[in-house]
Amino acid sequence: MSAVCTPLPYGAASRYSPLNGGYCGALRLWSVARTEAGHGDAVSSDGDETALIAEAGRGDAQAYRALSDRHLGKIVGYANRLLADSAEAEDVAQETFLRLWKQAAKWQPKAKLHTWLFRVAHNLCIDRLRARRPAEPDALERQSSGDRPSGLLARKQLASEVEQALAELPERQRAAIALTHYQGLSQADAADVLQCGVEAVESLLSRGRRTLRQRLSHLRDDDDEERT
């Protein structure tokens, strides 16, 4: 699948980049269609990434682009899981990588780059979620009362119901599930992103999964009815 990319808004690169506009468009926001696993997520050592960050800190746009290609897809995907809004997710990803650009020159390799990026994106998402007004109850009632569709439409509806149930979880439970299930982080790395202990992550996952099973139990009931 080809990537869909969006350049920085006009003037953003010149405001934030030390290259004063010559870097305009170099940071491109790939859509979730690039896949949350990220085409650029090649296996790499921490030392390799530390070297790339150091080069980016010296103004090497190619090194920065390589880091963006490796991690941007996952950051967009994670933000979209938390915000349920692709445009806001891209804004969060853009801000996250602008912060990496500004931080690169003074980077201290005390944490893994991907956990640092997820932590920055997570905090930006939480700020946006807390600034939103509470959703109207009717906004969450999206399912129709008609016959259950079949085939591709049924799969799309199933995915929609799962995403809706995930979006209704408390933000930390949703974050823990998004980090471990969708982004493939270990519980230790998820704990680093959420700035809590591994046991707390395990608790968040347990409660979140239990709530999802309860909210999606009607799907299992429908399957049981179809088999009888």
| Judgement on whether residues 121 and 20 belong to the same structural domain of the protein | yes
Q: Name the DSSP letter for residue 34.
A: G
Q: Is residue 143 part of a domain?
A: no
Q: State yes or no: pLDDT of 59 exceeds 90.
A: yes
DSSP letter string, 40-106: T-----HHHHHHHHHHHHTT-HHHHHHHHHHHHHHHHHHHHHHHS-HHHHHHHHHHHHHHHHHHGGG
From 131, 158, 185, the end of a domain falls on 131
Quick: pLDDT tens for 159-177. Answer: 788 888 898 999 999 999 9
| Judgement on whether residues 167 and 59 belong to the same structural domain of the protein | no
**Range of the structural domain that residue 209 is part of:** 148-227
91 versus 161: the higher-pLDDT residue is 91
CB 73 within 8 A of CB 39: yes
Q: Is residue 119 part of a domain?
A: yes
Quick: pLDDT tens for 129-157. Answer: 988 866 544 433 444 444 444 566 667 77
Q: How many domains does the chain contain in total?
A: 2
| Judgement on whether residues 89 and 36 belong to the same structural domain of the protein | yes
What pLDDT was estimated at residue 153? 62
What pLDDT was estimated at residue 145? 41
* Rounded percentage of the chain residues whose pLDDT exceeds 70: 65
Q: For residue 75, give the CATH number of its domain.
A: 1.10.1740.10
Q: Which of 27-36, 79-88, 215-224 has the lowest mean pLDDT?
A: 27-36
From 131, 159, 182, the end of a domain falls on 131
What is the average pLDDT score of the chain?
75
Q: For residue 189, give the CATH number of its domain.
A: 1.10.10.10
| Judgement on whether residues 172 and 222 belong to the same structural domain of the protein | yes
| Judgement on whether residues 46 and 125 belong to the same structural domain of the protein | yes
What pLDDT was estimated at residue 66? 94
